[in-house]
Amino acid sequence: MVQYLETGAGRRLAYHRHDGQGPGVVFLGGLRSDMTGTKAVYLEDWARVQGRAFLRFDYSGHGQSSGDFTDGCIGDWAEDAAAAITALTEGPQVLVGSSMGGWISLLIAKRMQERLAGLVTIAAAPDFTEDGMWAEWSDAQRQACMAEGRVALASDYGEPMIITRRMIEDGRDQLVLRAPLRLDMPVRMLQGTADADVPVAVAMRLLDHLEGGDIRLELVKGADHRFSDPGCLATITRAVAEVLANA
């Protein structure tokens, strides 16, 4: 059954949670995804079998949470994640961040590393508003975003995606690849070689950037950005189990 958390910022976050042994596992979804996605539900089912505490939730403007997508930004969604982890979990957690959720997990690691037992990222997309969108847009798209406050981008996942000026400007305050980032915890990064949204070069850049004693990148040949076929799902739970064993 869906439950709701009222955050200090006045946002109402929908979530599913079950109790179990720690460290718990928290799933952080991607941009415009929600907690009913294949990876989130599969991971929850796995955690139940393991007797492991688990949390999945919708950022504001996503899924069943309050707000409109176009009102949000990376900073808001990182705030949502921090609020959910603080209010709905106990003790150390392993964050599993997919795409934008990978960026969010790194922001959480910067701000509250004492609450984390480890990270698993899936096609992590750190700094994508600046390095993936703004850097690749045409002059016309940049001008439209700044002058009109928004730009519509074609999407392979449904309706065009509206990217706002606020998302771009806030993204510049959330960048994680510009300053050293040390993670004193086990980190497993998963990346498909056929990912058309987040190139392997992004994963390699993140691997090179992170500092820590137990950080590994695994490339899955032929896997796309969804990373949701049976083999990829098994790879995710194997990575989570490895992080838990080394936490």
Work out the pLDDT band at 65, boundaries 50, 70, 90.
very high
Average pLDDT over residues 21-46: 97
For residue 86, the model assigns a pLDDT of 97
pLDDT, one tens digit per residue, over 131-171 is 999 999 999 999 999 999 999 988 777 788 999 999 999 99
For residue 158, the model assigns a pLDDT of 73
3-state secondary structure of 17: strand
Average pLDDT over residues 173-202: 97
For residue 221, the model assigns a pLDDT of 98
Average pLDDT over residues 43-47: 98
For residue 159, the model assigns a pLDDT of 82
Q: What is the dihedral of CA 195, 55, 86, 81, to 10 degrees?
A: 30
42 secondary structure, DSSP code:
H
Q: Are 80 and 104 in contact (CB under 8 A)?
A: no
For the chain, give the mean pLDDT: 96
Question: pTM, whole model, 2 decimals?
Answer: 0.96
Instruction: Check 33, 65, 98, 99 and give the catalytic one.
Output: 99
Q: Are 120 and 247 in contact (CB under 8 A)?
A: no
d(C-alpha 13, C-alpha 64), whole Å: 8
d(C-alpha 155, C-alpha 230), whole Å: 24
For residue 111, the model assigns a pLDDT of 95
Instruction: Check 58, 127, 170, 195 and give the catalytic one.
Output: 195
| Residue ranges in the chain assigned as alpha helix (H) | 38-50, 74-88, 100-112, 128, 139-148, 165-171, 200-209, 230-246
Task: For residue 99, indicate whether it is catalytic.
Answer: yes
DSSP output for 172-214: TTS-SSSS-EE--S-EEEEEETT-SSS-HHHHHHHHHHEE-SS
For residue 247, the model assigns a pLDDT of 87
Average pLDDT over residues 4-33: 96
Average pLDDT over residues 209-236: 97
**Exposure letters 20-48 (e unless 16+ CB within 10 A, then b):** eebbbbbbbbbbbbbbebebbebbbebbe
For residue 207, the model assigns a pLDDT of 98
List the chain domain ranges.
Answer: 3-127+179-246, 128-173
d(C-alpha 19, C-alpha 208), whole Å: 36
Instruction: Check 76, 105, 127, 225 and give the catalytic one.
Output: 225
d(C-alpha 44, C-alpha 86), whole Å: 19
Percentage of the chain exceeding pLDDT 90: 96
Task: For residue 195, indicate whether it is catalytic.
Answer: yes
Q: Could you say which architecture CATH assigns to the domain 3-127+179-246?
A: 3-Layer(aba) Sandwich (3.40)
- Which candidate, 213, 247, 236, places its Cα nearest to that of 99? 236
In which order are the strands placed within the sheet that holds 93-98? Answer: 3-6, 12-18, 52-57, 21-28, 93-98, 116-122, 187-192, 215-220
For residue 156, the model assigns a pLDDT of 75
pLDDT, one tens digit per residue, over 87-103 is 999 999 999 999 999 99
d(C-alpha 185, C-alpha 153), whole Å: 36
* Max Cα distance, the chain (Å): 52
